[in-house]
A and B are shown apart, each in its own frame.
Chain A
Amino acid sequence: GQQVMQIPQYQHVQEGEDFTTYCNSSTTLSNIQWYKQRPGGHPVFLIQLVKSGEVKKQKRLTFQFGEAKKNSSLHITATQTTDVGTYFCAGRGTSYDKVIFGPGTSLSVIP
């Protein structure tokens, strides 16, 4: 079955440093979504990527969808303490498939 993997599992950065998390699927995806979960909170949608090679930006966050639609990345420029949380990618094989979440990357920001 479809599997979604993420690396790294944990990342500790100094405030102001950049951060990147990578997501890889065992199968081609129709779309990929990214969610952020703060400690003690629930996952909150950040963005959805649909097109091969798509790049989207949200302020300091840059999201990419690979050309083969099997991998994605989230890059945060100049991290802030408000970026703390776990970032999940979630992939769907086809428009009619269930959504499979990755295990997440937990980001800690040292002030």
Chain B
Amino acid sequence: GAGVSQSPRYKVTKRGQDVALRCDPISGHVSLYWYRQALGQGPEFLTYFNYEAQQDKSGLPNDRFSAERPEGSISTLTIQRTEQRDSAMYRCASSLERASSYNEQFFGPGTRLTVL
């Protein structure tokens, strides 16, 4: 596709349920990032991948959060046993190549998660 896509765009779930958020990066982009953005705040780093390898997951808040990118393309961020404090906009971004001088990030439209 022409840009980064994310699905679903909106997700409403009940506390305690698991959710899976999907990111489809720009074709050929090596790096993929997950961020969480609260209203009025900057994107908060969660984790990132180069190809299928998870390079840094230090931003994941706790062990209920996990991410994978098994074939180096589409990525899934999973939140288990959701809590109300998990409600936020979850954004995915991809870039052509991380460790180069050209690592502009292209952001997707985000998934708005609401935990009731």
Residues of A that sit less than 8 Å from B by CB: 31, 33, 35, 42-45, 48, 50, 88, 90, 95-104, 106
Given A42-B107, A42-B110, A98-B56: A103 and B99 within 8 A (CB)? no
Question: Contacts of A48 on B, CB cut-off 8 Å?
Answer: 101-104
Q: How far is the CA of A45 from the CA of B31 in the complex (A)?
A: 16
> Is the pair B45, A98 in contact by a Cβ cutoff of 8 Å?
yes
Q: How far is the CA of A53 from the CA of B105 in the complex (A)?
A: 23
CB distance from B39 to the nearest CB of A (A): 11
> Is the pair B56, A45 in contact by a Cβ cutoff of 8 Å?
no
Question: Contacts of A102 on B, CB cut-off 8 Å?
Answer: 42
Q: How far is the CA of A45 from the CA of B95 in the complex (A)?
A: 11
Tell me, yes or no, whether B59 is within 8 Å of chain A by CB: yes
> Is the pair A45, B45 in contact by a Cβ cutoff of 8 Å?
no
Which residue of B is nearest A1, CB measured?
B58
A-B residue pairs in contact (CB < 8 Å), sample of 10? A31-B103, A33-B105, A42-B110, A45-B105, A48-B101, A88-B42, A95-B98, A96-B98, A98-B59, A101-B43
Extra contacts, 16 of them, besides A33-B104, A35-B105 (Cβ < 8 A), are A31-B101, A31-B103, A43-B43, A43-B93, A45-B106, A48-B104, A90-B43, A97-B56, A98-B58, A99-B33, A99-B105, A101-B35, A101-B44, A102-B42, A104-B42, A106-B40
Which residue of B is nearest A97, CB measured?
B56
CB distance from B86 to the nearest CB of A (A): 19
